Amino acid sequence: MPVTKLRVLIFLSTILVVGVFGTFVSFYARGYRFNLKTQKFLPNGILVIKSEPDGASVFVNGELKTATNANISISPGTYDIEVKKEGFFPWSKRLTIEKEIVTQATVSLFKTTPSLSPVTFSGAENPLQPEDGSKIAYIDSRGLWVNDITSLPLGFSRDPKRVTDGNLTGSIFEFSPDGSQILLTTGSGIFLLDSGIFTPQPQRTNVASRKNQILTDWQKQQKLINSSLLKNLPEEISEIFIKKTSKLTFSPDETMILYQASASARLAENLVRKLPGASTQKQEREIKDGQTYIYDIKEDRNFLISETKVPIHWLPNSRHLLLPGEDKITIMDYDGTNRQSVYSGSYIYPFAFPYSNTTKILILTNLGSDSTSPNLYSLTIK
C-alpha cells in the first residue's frame, strides 16, 4: 500500500475513533447509560449531591447508593432521597429527575447533640439583630451593648461595644434599616443613638417629639432599599410585593425574598424561562393574607413557609431559614421542606438568631433556672 494512502487511512481512522469516542462522552455526560435489559442507550438524569459535612450516605428510595459529593445517574422519575451521617439529623427530600438534566442538591446536616457556650455573662435583655444580621444588641445592668459578629467566623467577640450606659431595665429599642442607628425608648424618654459610638447617659438627647418623623424616615429608607432590589423583577411580581406584603426580607445573596402577605393575590405563571435542574418542590402561586412565603427570584417559584405570621430569619448561606418556636428551634430548607428541630431545650422565645456563619445560632436562655438572669449562648449545630 502506498505511503500516501496509508496516511489517509490512518487519518480517517483517527477521525472516526475520535468522533465515536467524543459522541460517547457527550451522551454519557448528558446522562445516557447502556441498559442491559433493552440493549439500548437510554437517557438518564444526573443527581449531583453534596453535603456539609461530606462523607454522608446517600439513599435512593431506601437503597444505599453512594456517599455524598458524588454524581448519580438515575432514570427519569420521582425519588425519595435521604442523606444520613452518624451524629447528625437525617436529610430527606422528594426530587423529580428529568432526562439529560443535572439536578443538584446541597445538603446541610445538623448535629443531634448541639453544644452551648456562653456569650454574655452579666445578663442580656431584649436581644435584637438588624435585618442584615451583622450584629446583635442587648441590654444588661450596665447599659445597651452591640456586638459585631460579621468579621468573626470562628468565634464570638468577647469585647462588645457599649452604646450607652445607665439602668435600662424594661427599655425597648429598634435598629434603623441599615443598622447604623438605634432608637431607644426608656422610662425617661426616647433617644436616637449611633450604634457604633458610645453616648454617655448625660449626653443623650430626648427625641420624643421627633419619634414619629424618625420612624417615617426609616420606613421611607426601607422602601427605597426594597425598591432598588425589586426593580429587576417582572412588573407583575414587584407590584404585588410593593402593595400586598407587610414585610420583605431579602436573602443575604439577594436571590430570594422572604415575605408576609397582607392581602390575597395571584402570582402570574411562567414569568421567567424554566431553568434546567430547577426546583421540583411544590409551590403556591395563590398567596393569602397573613401567610409567610419565599419567592425564588431566579427560578420564579413561590413556596409556602407558614400559614401564620411567625419570626423567621435567613441563615447566612441563603439556603436555610431559622424558625424560633415556643418549645423548639427549627431549621428548614428555603422551600419549606426538610424541617429539623435543632434545639428543644429551655430558651426565652422568640430570641433565637442566626450566627455569622451556619455552624452556630444564638439563643437567649437561663438554662431553666428561674433564679438566674438569662444570657446569650452560642449553640453549635454543625
Shared domain for 88 and 226, answered yes or no, is no
pLDDT classification of 382: cutoffs 50, 70, 90: confident
- pTM of the entire structure? 0.83
Shared domain for 345 and 221, answered yes or no, is yes
Shared domain for 190 and 120, answered yes or no, is yes
Residue 32 has, within 13 A of its CA and on its CB side, a CA count of 11
Q: What is the pLDDT of residue 331?
A: 95
Q: What are phi and psi of 86, to 5 degrees?
A: -60, 135
Rounded to whole angstroms, how far apart are CA atoms 141 and 149?
22
In a domain, 283, yes or no: no
Q: Which residue has the cell 435521604?
A: 82
Rounded to whole angstroms, how far apart are CA atoms 134 and 357?
11
Number of domains in the chain: 2
pLDDT classification of 43: cutoffs 50, 70, 90: confident
Contact between 324 and 341 under an 8 Å Cβ cutoff? The reply is: no
Shared domain for 119 and 41, answered yes or no, is no
In a domain, 336, yes or no: yes
Rounded to whole angstroms, how far apart are CA atoms 291 and 142?
40
In a domain, 236, yes or no: no
pLDDT at 49 exceeding the cut of 80 = yes
In a domain, 1, yes or no: no
Shared domain for 67 and 103, answered yes or no, is yes
Q: Which range of residues forms the domain containing residue 217?
A: 111-231+310-382
pLDDT at 368 exceeding the cut of 50 = yes
In a domain, 35, yes or no: yes
Q: What is the pLDDT of residue 155?
A: 46
Mapped onto helix, strand or coil, the DSSP state of residue 158 is coil
Shared domain for 92 and 172, answered yes or no, is no
Rounded to whole angstroms, how far apart are CA atoms 331 and 324?
9
Shared domain for 61 and 169, answered yes or no, is no
pLDDT classification of 345: cutoffs 50, 70, 90: confident
Shared domain for 94 and 185, answered yes or no, is no
Q: What is the pLDDT of residue 7?
A: 59
Averaged pLDDT for residues 154-181? 86
